[in-house]
Structure 1
């Protein structure tokens, strides 16, 4: 199995993100595009509850610098205490949205975030992961874009280089 196939298998077999993405598509199919972000957040929270997934809405997260809290932000949803969901309702996801999620992952020390845009007829989803680098043990970020429920589109998978390289 080559590296891309191994990555595809890891992404494809994450049952939590798979279940959440299923809920995202139920909401998108029922509501369509055009509502404010909060409408999709509430509908997705309802759908997560129906799926039996433990979740919290509007979770305050502290940002630390050395030993001080230097700011806070509010996470849209946290699922099962380990998956961050950042929702948007805009024309297209932009690099600033990805940067926002990467910073949220760093601040929370969670490993995975789904960046979800309900602003189009078909939802846009990016799966961002913060995992340890096997070469130097520091964190590196991978981004996977998917435009359908099938998460095997590795053509959109990016890895940032190992900091020790």
Structure 2
């Protein structure tokens, strides 16, 4: 269990310790945000690679649930933490509605993946993913359509207030 230096018997004033805590929290938050953004980019790259691999082997024409199951299993095997059909609660006018929506996949609690098996991705699909990103306060999401001739034409990466590292 972590204890403050004051409890260790160090001669440090309360004012100084509060200032140190603020600096430590700020630096930790900056580092966590940098790490989070880098991780999202790396994770999304891995997810896209796996999706392409799955599409090459299985081809188009299967149900969304099949692609979701296979992608989740494939990413889990590679060591990623994958959650399927994650419920999203919404708040409206003081009411909380649990499980109003469900995200297909949530990778490493950072990357939202919405899987489709439709002829063509429509604007409504992108709006759906952007709504999920906004409600979950996540910066990046992938919209993957497995029904195209090639997977390349079915990949869309959407951002919600995403700022890359310089």
TM-score (norm 2): 0.69
Match of 1:128 in 2: 158
Closer/same/farther in 2, CA of residues 34 and 101 from structure 1, 3 Å limit: same
Q: Please, what is the CA RMSD of the aligned residues?
A: 2.0
CA distance in 2, matches of 1:69, 1:54: 27
Q: Give the number of the structure whose alpha-carbon radius of gyration is greater.
A: 2
Structure 2 stretches lacking a partner, 5+ long: 1-36
Structure 1 stretches lacking a partner, 5+ long: 1-9, 134-165
Q: Is the 8 A contact 2:115 2:143 kept in 1?
A: yes
Q: Point out the structure with the larger helix share.
A: 2
Match of 2:14 in 1: none
Match of 1:90 in 2: 118
Match of 2:51 in 1: 24
Q: Secondary structure at the match of 2:43?
A: helix
Match of 2:11 in 1: none
Q: Point out the structure with the larger strand share.
A: 1
Q: Is structure 2 residue 75 aligned with structure 1 residue 48?
A: yes
TM-score (norm 1): 0.69
CA distance in 1, matches of 2:93, 2:56: 44
CA distance in 1, matches of 2:75, 2:58: 16
Match of 2:61 in 1: 34
Deviating runs (4+, > 6 A) in structure 1?
Answer: none
Q: Tell me how far 1:120 sits from its aligned partner.
A: 1.2
